């Protein structure tokens, strides 16, 4: 994100320590994105291993989609930190213009919703990937989908926390509907994946 350091050059140990520190960020959103992105990486690994043994055009296209999604999803970790820091700074200022308050409040709802959409895209991709991978790596597909669904569920908690701060009723209602639809579809897809034979 422009003007702020990214979490991604950090070591895993440094990110863990930063998350555990007595500071507001990184927190739930960024941690959820990292978990979800690692889940997607597992799915991509399974696809690449299979592709190296059995080249297939459909699988190659799915690999390209997964590679693009890995970058897109990962960027939401930094976006979450930026949105929450901006929100906290705005709320500290008593004389902050109403427009700035409204924009900051919208961002702490819109960023996790967008993150959840990317996570859901990853779970959908996992379902498509499962029949296109060799049996020894199918457990990695399911593990990846579990991490993506967990990440989705975690970021949607941020939506729940911040919904009441949205000033307009129609915006609250729209966000609430979007939140429910994302969770429901992810839960349904994961249940379908769990019914598949993965090992």
DSSP 2: T
Q: Is the pLDDT of residue 85 over 80?
A: yes
Fold for domain 25-195? 1.20.120
- pLDDT per residue as tens digits for the range 23-68: 888 999 999 999 999 999 999 999 999 999 999 999 999 999 999 9
- pLDDT per residue as tens digits for the range 119-164: 999 999 999 999 999 999 999 999 999 999 999 999 999 999 999 8
Tokens of 77: 């970790």
- What radius of gyration, in Å, describes the C-alpha atoms of the chain? 18
What does the pLDDT read at residue 102?
A: 86
Q: What is the domain partition of the chain in residue ranges?
A: 25-195
Calculate the average pLDDT of the chain.
Answer: 93
* Residue of 100 and 39 predicted with greater confidence: 39
What does the pLDDT read at residue 89?
A: 87
**Which pLDDT band, with edges at 50, 70 and 90, does 169 fall under?**
very high
What does the pLDDT read at residue 196?
A: 86
Tokens of 180: 């429910």
């Amino acid at each position: 994100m422009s003007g702020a350091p990214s979490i991604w050059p950090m070591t895993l140990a440094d990110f863990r320590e930063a998350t555990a520190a007595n500071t507001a960020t990184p927190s739930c959103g960024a941690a959820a994105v990292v978990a979800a992105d690692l889940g997607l990486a597992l799915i991509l690994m399974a696809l690449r291993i299979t592709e190296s043994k059995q080249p297939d055009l459909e699988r190659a296209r799915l690999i390209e989609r997964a590679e693009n999604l890995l970058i897109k999803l990962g960027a939401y970790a930094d976006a979450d930190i930026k949105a929450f820091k901006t929100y906290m700074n705005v709320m500290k200022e008593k004389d902050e213009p109403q427009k700035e308050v409204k924009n900051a409040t919208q961002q702490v709802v819109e960023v996790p919703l967008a993150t959840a959409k990317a996570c859901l895209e990853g779970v959908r991709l996992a379902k498509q990937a499962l029949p296109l991978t060799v049996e020894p790596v199918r457990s990695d597909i399911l593990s990846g989908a579990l991490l993506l669904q967990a990440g989705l569920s975690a970021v949607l908690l941020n939506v729940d926390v911040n919904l009441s701060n949205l000033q307009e009723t129609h915006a609250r209602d729209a966000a609430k509907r979007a939140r429910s639809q994302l969770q429901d579809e992810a839960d349904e897809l994961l249940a379908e994946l769990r019914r598949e034979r993965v090992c």
